[in-house]
């Protein structure tokens, strides 16, 4: 939402969302509707302020918790465009992140074995492990690394903000993200999942189980449903989101 459309500066209004263990929720909506703002707010980005309401996680009110504390508690955000960190290798980053998340101080050699195993499952070349984090990575390599992080850290809830966007046009845009999500859920079935996406193919590829779809328009959820809502959107995919917007 542009500031001119809302003089108060509020982007999300009256939004109520509950994600239980093991559930998959998809947040869909037009560009500028507040989808990425929602993802970043849940994760505690300092760019946004919660002026009313609260965010609860595993029984705790985490509204005022900093991002790193939320991550340690088991919240994970997969980015559209992860930043490069020169001088830090993938294995070094994962070693520090796992120690912070679970208090597990695996040796680098032990973590290397675990990581290589996950790389095989996710179709990642093993040489990836010693490269500098996101430095010179292609778009699909960056997203594979996001999936790798999610699998190894085993979060209680993962928020994936359009992880399929930006992937090279000759790559199947849903396959990388869907494979990573499915594999992570095999070992971590109680992980709650919030997918920020407008790709119904990704939603279908992630799970055959029940899903919860929410349509976000101008910072508000205007419709919620399951695969029936997905079918309605797919039937008129070009105009469905905008039609919902007009009808609000």
Q: What is the pLDDT along the chain (248 residues), one digit of tens a residue?
A: 333 344 457 889 888 999 999 999 999 988 889 999 999 999 999 999 999 999 999 999 999 999 999 999 999 999 777 777 888 999 999 999 999 998 887 888 999 999 999 999 988 888 889 998 888 888 778 888 889 999 999 999 999 988 655 554 445 657 888 889 999 999 999 999 999 988 888 888 888 788 899 999 999 999 999 988 877 776 665 455 555 544 44
Residue 228: give its domain's CATH number: 3.40.50.300
In a domain, 93, yes or no: no
Cβ density class 89-98: b for 16+ within 10 Å, e for less: bbbbbbbebb
The DSSP secondary-structure symbol of 159 reads E
pLDDT for the residue 192? 96
In a domain, 94, yes or no: no
In a domain, 108, yes or no: no
What is d(CA 244, CA 12) in angstroms, rounded to the nearest whole number? 17
CB atoms within 10 A of CB 210: 9
Angle between helix 227-235 and 240-247 (nearest 10): 100
Q: What's the domain range around 179?
A: 3-78+155-247
Query: How many separate helices (H) and strands (E) can be counted in the chain?
Result: 9, 10
What is d(CA 70, CA 65) in angstroms, rounded to the nearest whole number? 7
In a domain, 175, yes or no: yes
State whether residue 238 is helix, strand or coil.
coil
Residue 64 neighbours by CB under 8 Å, 6+ apart = none
Count: domains in the chain: 1
What is d(CA 143, CA 179) in angstroms, rounded to the nearest whole number? 11
CA distances from 201 to 65, 102, 159 (A): 35, 33, 18
In a domain, 130, yes or no: no
- At which residue do the structure tokens 């990642």 appear? 124
Helices (H), 80-226: 90-102, 108-122, 139-153, 175-187, 200-206
In a domain, 32, yes or no: yes
Q: Is the backbone of residue 220 left (phi > 0), alpha (psi -120 to 50) or beta?
A: beta
Residue 100 phi/psi, 5° resolution? -70, -40
- Is residue 145 within 8 Å of 134, Cβ to Cβ? yes
pLDDT for the residue 169? 47
pLDDT for the residue 202? 84
What is d(CA 246, CA 21) in angstroms, rounded to the nearest whole number? 34
| Residue of 143, 155, 167 whose CA lies nearest to 193 | 155
pLDDT for the residue 214? 94
């Amino acid at each position: 939402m542009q500031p001119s459309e809302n003089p108060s500066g509020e982007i999300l209004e009256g939004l109520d969302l509950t994600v239980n263990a093991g559930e998959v929720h998809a947040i869909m909506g037009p560009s500028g509707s507040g989808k990425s703002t929602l993802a970043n707010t849940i994760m505690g980005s300092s760019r946004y302020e919660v002026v009313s309401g609260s965010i609860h996680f595993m029984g705790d009110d985490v509204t005022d918790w900093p991002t790193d504390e939320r991550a340690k508690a088991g919240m994970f955000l997969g980015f559209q465009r992860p930043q490069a960190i020169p001088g830090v290798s993938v294995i070094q980053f994962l070693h520090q992140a796992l120690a912070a998340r679970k208090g597990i101080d695996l040796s680098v050699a032990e973590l290397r074995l675990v990581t290589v195993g996950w790389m095989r499952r996710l179709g990642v070349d093993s040489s990836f492990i010693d490269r500098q984090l996101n430095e010179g990575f292609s778009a699909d390599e960056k997203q594979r690394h996001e999936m790798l992080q999610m699998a190894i850290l085993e979060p209680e809830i993962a928020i994936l903000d359009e992880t399929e966007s930006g992937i090279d046009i000759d790559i199947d845009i849903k396959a990388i993200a869907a494979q990573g999500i499915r594999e992570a859920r095999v070992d971590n079935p109680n992980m709650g999942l919030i997918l920020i996406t407008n790709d119904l193919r990704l939603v279908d590829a992630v799970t055959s189980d029940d899903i919860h779809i929410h349509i976000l328009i101008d910072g508000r959820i205007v419709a919620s449903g399951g695969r029936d809502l997905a079918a309605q959107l797919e039937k008129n995919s070009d105009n469905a989101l905008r039609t919902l917007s007009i009808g609000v």
